[in-house]
Structure 1
């Protein structure tokens, strides 16, 4: 993380019951916090805000999500079934980011698959679709690999 200039930026963590760096967290299960710098939005509320007045569009210097996006659209956490729910979730992330913002996404990798209704696994087919052909950096344990997702 030291290679990414995040000081002074506002961020969002998606799918975290235990927020660690953000001001606003998006999660299906309601988070109750008295901390003044932690807010909560249900995913449907966030979409309504994005479409109604674009309040959060382009507002975040970074969005972080670990073990969340791969569950989107599988119904496990009360969300509706949606075969491309993970793609839609990452598109919301793109809408939230400022130009030049960072998306830190932790997802399972390996042979492509869906472990219904637990999670998806991203490999040669689904990973490029998820990142829409954008240049990304992959971190696999302690190895960093530049990867063009096309």
Structure 2
């Protein structure tokens, strides 16, 4: 399963979802529920100084 540059948008209200600072964690949990035992999960998010770009995306701390 892959999730490329999507998790950083979850929970920020940009796509009609409710604003939830930890929305990316709920998304991560849901994705891992779909993953088969022994399956592979490939994902990518922006890395750098941790911040939220207003109403757009998160940058995760390295």
TM-score normalised by L of structure 2: 0.90
Give the structure 2 partner of residue 140 of structure 1. none
- Taking the aligned partners of 1:119 and 1:70, their CA distance within structure 2 comes to 5
Give the structure 1 partner of residue 36 of structure 2. 98
Higher Cα Rg, which structure: 1
Richer in helix (by share): 2
Q: CA deviation at 1:76?
A: 0.6
Give the structure 2 partner of residue 71 of structure 1. 9
Which structure 1 residue ranges, 4+ long, deviate > 6 Å from structure 2? none
Please list every run of 5 or more consecutive structure 1 residues that lacks an aligned counterpart in the other structure: 1-62, 125-150
Alignment RMSD, CA only? Answer: 1.0
Richer in strand (by share): 1
- Taking the aligned partners of 2:2 and 2:16, their CA distance within structure 1 comes to 21
Q: CA deviation at 1:114?
A: 0.8
TM-score normalised by L of structure 1: 0.40
